[in-house]
Amino acid sequence: MIKLVVLDVDGTLTDGKLYIDNFGNEMKAFDVKDGLAISQSIKAGIKFAIITGKTSKIVERRGTELGITDIVQGSRDKIKDLEKILEKYNITYEETAYIGDDLIDLKPMKLCGFSACPSDSVAEIIEISDFVSSKAGGNGAVREILEKILKDQGLWEKILANFTATVQ
């Protein structure tokens, strides 16, 4: 059973492109469908963490909006950072899902009980993933992966019930 989902950001929650204007302002685009799936998964009792190599106020803001409390930015050792989160919640690697897209995610993905990636991930990540989304990073891939996890754990129907209107 998955108790924790760890997310990379660039190429997973976003399309992986870095938009920088002439004034040095950085922009990222996030898919709202990914966001809804994350917030609903949190309500269903699954914990989330972001571990990313870059540092950005945008990531902090988006993660906080969604209810993600464990946000590690500027990570130079994703395994070490992941181990701290696992220890904090007394969760095992087997109970952890990791969603990544590039070589920096390879080692932690191999350790986790479930690994998944967007369709446009690098070949080495696709090769070791338990599930490959039909969607590209930043285009609903995280949503599709979370739906699979939630359905496998029997939580999806409960989430759907929150949005189904009863007409009498």
CATH number of the domain bearing residue 66: 3.40.50.1000
Q: In the predicted model, is pLDDT for residue 168 greater than 80?
A: no
pTM (2 d.p.) = 0.95
Instruction: Read off the pLDDT of residues 1-22 as tens digits, 9 standing for 90 and up.
Output: 999 999 999 999 999 999 999 9
99 domain residue, yes or no: yes
10 domain residue, yes or no: yes
Q: Dump the DSSP string for 123-157.
A: HHHHHH-SEE-SS-TTTTHHHHHHHHHHHHTT-HH
Q: Higher model confidence: residue 168 or residue 16?
A: 16
Taking residues 67-90, report their average pLDDT.
97
163 domain residue, yes or no: no
Task: Say if residues 149 and 45 touch (Cβ distance below 8 Å).
Answer: no
166 domain residue, yes or no: no
Range of the domain at 128: 4-156
Instruction: Read off the pLDDT of residues 42-54 as tens digits, 9 standing for 90 and up.
Output: 999 999 999 999 9
Task: Say if residues 70 and 85 touch (Cβ distance below 8 Å).
Answer: yes
165 domain residue, yes or no: no
Instruction: Read off the pLDDT of residues 102-121 as tens digits, 9 standing for 90 and up.
Output: 999 999 999 999 999 999 99
Instruction: Provide the domain count of the chain.
Output: 1
Burial class (CB in 10 A: 0-12, 13-18, 19+), 136: middle
